[in-house]
Amino acid sequence: MKKTLFLSSLLLCSTAFAQRVPFVYEQENTGANVQVDLPSVAELPVVETLTDPLMWSNGKARVKNFSEWSQRRGEIAKEIQHYGIGIKPAVERQNVHPRMDGDTLFVDVERNGKTITLRMTLHYPKQGTAPYPLMIGTSHNSLPSWIILERPIAYATYHENQVNPYSQFGGEKGGRGTYPFDVLYPEYKDNGAYAEWAWGISRLLDGLQMLGPEKTRIDIKHIGVTGCSYAGKMALYCGAFDERIALTIAQEPGGGGAAAWRVSSTMTDVESIDRTDYHWFQESQKTNFGGENVKRLPYDQHELCAMVCPRALLLLGNPDYKWLADEAMYVSANAAKKVWEAFGIADRMGYSIQGGHPHCMLPAVQCPEVEAFIDRFLLGKEYMRGTVAIAPMFEGKVDLKKWIQF
């Protein structure tokens, strides 16, 4: 089982090697076949600080080079599913049947003689030539529309209610085991919504990939996801669990997104493991890891963020809203960033935590970093250099060494 080790050395990678590290993959999950022990809660060690994302789950060694990362990432994925959100089931291609009707993608997914249909309407740019990069808004796209419309980028909305029709504003409709996802997977009725929402977006990506750019006019190698608040969490889980997503922009995702559970548990009046919506997660997560037991989690949310590596991740925060626990996200972001640093690609991960604006309304001061990530990772512009690490209210004031000791 995994323990945090006090190691200070980083893996050294040359610039030439970093240039060979992929920006995206053609597979949903390159570590799908990894086997990992999943101990009972009582068997898990108490770890006061954040866990080391580069430490193998057995605690005996660290990842030595990038070639091992997909396997380590696979371990993290299985731990998060087992202890946190529930199972995101794999789907064989022969059970996925996509088609285009005008500009709308339809994907029929079948299992055991039953079928559900997912859809996503594609909006194409007025400039540029196909195939186009695509930015998908989870629930909706909360980024300023001009950022997309001024660029040769297609956009779409992933409506999560076609998988699991939960809304924090509308309440639960029917309850666990009664949603469209459950038609195919009744055995996973204890799942949290984030496992199911991530499953749904992956099936739509299956459709885009299977039909190809000739029919969809979409460049599958340049897909981005974004969302804010509970949908910011959704974007993060979707990006973490599908390696075909090149860019993830999680806007104000709060607790259970990028904010580390261990850190938020020491704060007041924030979204913590004891104070979040348990439709989103397995109810067993609170039972097993509430209170002091949060220190028995074999991972924390910085490892969810790290799952995006080596692809691009931008975290956006708003400290004016205390509930979001952005101090915990700041700690988590700095811990996760060490994985990108280890492989010499630190400029693919960044964070910008700045106040002075309403929730889910991107201010002008954060637009430059958003535009830079979109231009580089969706449009392939290489002018961006250096890293994005902006958090003036936390920089030099939060003791990172208290939490990050690897």
**pLDDT for residue 13:** 38
Q: What are 2's two structure tokens? A: 């995994």
Does 229 participate in catalysis according to the annotation? yes
Q: How far apart are CA 309 and CA 302, in angstroms?
A: 11
Helix residue spans in 154-272 (DSSP H)? 180-184, 193-211, 213-216, 230-241, 261-264
Hey, what long-range contacts does 91-96 have (CB within 8 A, 24 or more apart)?
91/199, 91/202, 91/203, 91/206, 93/206, 93/210, 96/203, 96/206, 96/207, 96/210
Residue of 229, 264, 332, 352 marked active site: 229
Tokens 């535009």, residue located: 371
**pLDDT for residue 344:** 96
Does 14 participate in catalysis according to the annotation? no
Question: How far is CA 232 from each of CA 68, 198, 333, 335, 405, rounded to the nearest angstrom?
Answer: 29, 12, 15, 19, 28
**pLDDT for residue 11:** 39
End-to-end CA distance of the chain: 16
Tokens 């002018």, residue located: 383
Helix (H, G, I), strand (E, B) or coil at 299: coil
Question: How remote is the C-alpha of 98 from its chain's centroid?
Answer: 25
**pLDDT for residue 171:** 61
**pLDDT for residue 387:** 86
Q: What are 118's two structure tokens? A: 């997912």
**pLDDT for residue 19:** 67
Walk along the chain (406 residues) and give the pLDDT tens digit of each residue: 443 332 233 333 345 556 689 999 999 999 999 999 999 999 999 999 999 999 999 999 999 999 999 999 999 999 999 999 999 999 999 999 999 999 999 999 999 999 999 999 999 999 999 999 999 999 999 999 999 999 999 999 999 999 998 876 666 667 888 999 999 999 999 999 999 999 999 999 999 999 999 999 999 999 999 999 999 999 999 999 999 999 999 999 999 999 999 999 999 999 999 999 999 999 999 999 999 999 999 999 999 999 999 999 999 999 999 999 999 999 999 999 999 999 999 999 999 999 999 999 999 999 999 999 999 999 999 765 678 999 999 999 999 999 999 9
**pLDDT for residue 15:** 52
* SS3 sequence of 38-106: CCCHHHCCCCCCCCCCCECCCCCCECCCHHHHHHHHHHHHHHHHHHHHCCCCCCCHHHEEEEEECCEEE
Domains of the chain with CATH codes = 15-403 (3.40.50.1820)
Residue among 181, 137, 143 nearest 161 (CA):
181
- Residue 375: Cβ-neighbour burial (10 angstroms; 0-12, 13-18, 19+): middle
Who's near 241: CB < 8 A, 6+ residues apart?
Answer: 28, 29, 77, 88, 198, 202, 307
